[in-house]
């Protein structure tokens, strides 16, 4: 993973998009407040605004009667000051009139025509929202590299921003290799299997916010493979392929990449599944060639491609989230090399699928949300063991 991240330059191009379309995108620049929030002193409740001195000592036995001199609704501005011994009927969020320094709830008063009877005193600035108490004009709202969550969208919307500068989506091309593959939707043929890898990995890249080109599957033909890679290098920062990386007679990916003059970054990883993975760089494009076994492809995509995509997207911390959890099942296989096992973690406990741990099996992955990270040299794991999991 470190080799790939060192070769990956964080996205350096931004684009301006409408704010409503920015959910999940990464900010390309800092954003500062153009106005105070709230932009004026305002009422936090429906009631009556007044000067606290006018109701000092008010009680059930000594009520104070004030004259209602105006009504102020949210969106309006006060028509006049709140003069002494007067009160303004006010609604939640409405601006407070000059001279008023507290607000009493409408449930706590008695109203008769243009007068309000008050039976309690209030402190100076009780039930009072100050201009700028949440955000001061000029303060930093959000920073470059922040992911646009719904709350952050709301923050910019509250300041009136209609557009936002975000990192461009990283362009990734995905395809599978193999003469044995069929496109989905075509009739099954003996000796063939349907191509699931290109769709699975494309969907994961799309889920991460990438601009994805899924080229489906390409036959085991060096010329066709080379043409596909050359075309993809023109406008993609990352190419991910599955299949053709082992030592079979038709495993051409290494031969093809080297024939195109691509620079080898690494060949093979000390982990299972997906140990034959190989990575190259051609000009500004990373080429990541993964095993064709479905779970091996998924696991190595999470380990190797996902951090690259996150860095290209503008995230400053592209590494996966890791948690410690307690194993609820035995895992009896020894792990001479580092091993990643699909699993599901919930409230600090991690459960393994009942079957389907083979690298070629995809079905057991359906209900999983993490991978168990088992260190090299580990023996079998017993129920109750504390383990590390990598979320996806």
pLDDT, residue 248, reads 75
pLDDT, residue 237, reads 95
Residues of the chain with pLDDT under 50: none
d(CA 337, CA 378): 8
Q: What's the chain's Rg over C-alpha atoms?
A: 31
52: phi then psi, degrees, rounded to nearest 5: -65, -25
d(CA 323, CA 272): 20
pTM: 0.81
Domains detected in the chain: 2-38+133-167 (3.90.105.10), 47-118 (2.170.190.11), 171-312 (3.40.980.10), 322-391 (2.40.340.10)
- Whether omega before 38 lies within 30 degrees of 0, making that bond cis, reads yes
Query: Pairing between strand 271-272 and 263-267?
Result: unpaired
d(CA 360, CA 204): 18
- Whether omega before 336 lies within 30 degrees of 0, making that bond cis, reads no
178, 208, 284, 287, 380 from 257: Cα distances, Å = 16, 27, 14, 8, 38
**Which residues are CB-contacts of 107 (< 8 A; sequence separation ≥ 6)?**
none
d(CA 94, CA 114): 20
Closest C-alpha among 151, 126, 131, 129 to residue 141: 151
pLDDT, residue 3, reads 66
């Amino acid at each position: 993973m470190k080799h790939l991240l060192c070769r990956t330059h964080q996205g350096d191009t931004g684009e301006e998009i409408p704010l409503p379309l920015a959910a999940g995108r990464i900010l390309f620049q800092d954003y500062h407040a153009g106005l105070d929030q709230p932009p004026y002193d305002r009422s936090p409740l429906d009631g009556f605004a007044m000067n606290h001195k006018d109701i000092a000592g008010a009680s059930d036995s000594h009520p104070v009667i004030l004259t209602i001199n105006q009504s102020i609704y949210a969106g309006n501005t006060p028509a006049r000051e709140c003069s002494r011994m007067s009160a303004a009927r006010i609604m939640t969020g409405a601006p407070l009139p000059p001279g008023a320094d507290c607000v009493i709830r409408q449930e706590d008063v008695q109203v008769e025509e243009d007068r309000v009877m008050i039976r309690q005193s209030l402190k100076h600035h009780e039930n009072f929202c100050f201009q700028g108490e949440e955000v001061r004009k000029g303060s930093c709202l959000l920073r470059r590299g922040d992911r646009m969550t719904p709350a952050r969208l709301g923050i910019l919307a509250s300041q009136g921003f209609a557009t936002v500068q975000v990192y461009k989506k990283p362009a990734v091309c995905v395809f599978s290799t193999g003469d044995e593959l069929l496109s989905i939707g075509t009739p099954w043929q003996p000796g063939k299997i349907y191509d699931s890898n290109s769709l699975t990995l494309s969907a994961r890249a799309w889920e991460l916010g990438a601009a994805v080109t899924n080229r489906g599957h390409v036959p085991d033909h060096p010329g066709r493979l080379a043409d596909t890679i050359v075309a993809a290098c023109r406008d993609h920062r990352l190419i991910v392929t599955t299949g053709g990386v082992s030592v079979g007679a038709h495993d051409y990916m290494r031969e093809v990449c080297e024939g195109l003059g691509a620079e080898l970054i690494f060949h093979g990883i000390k982990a299972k599944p997906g140990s034959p993975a190989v990575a190259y760089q051609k000009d500004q494009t990373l080429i990541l060639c993964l095993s064709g076994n479905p779970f091996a492809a998924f696991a190595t995509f999470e380990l190797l491609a996902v951090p690259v995509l996150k860095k290209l997207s503008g995230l400053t911390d592209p590494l996966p989230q890791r948690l410690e959890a307690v194993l609820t099942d035995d895992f009896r296989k020894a792990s001479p090399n580092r091993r990643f096992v699909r699993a599901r973690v919930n409230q600090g406990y991690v459960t393994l699928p009942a079957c389907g741990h083979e690298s070629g099996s995809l079905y057991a992955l359906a209900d999983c949300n993490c991978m168990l990270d088992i260190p090299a040299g580990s023996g079998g794991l017993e129920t109750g063991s504390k383990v590390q999991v990598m979320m996806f």
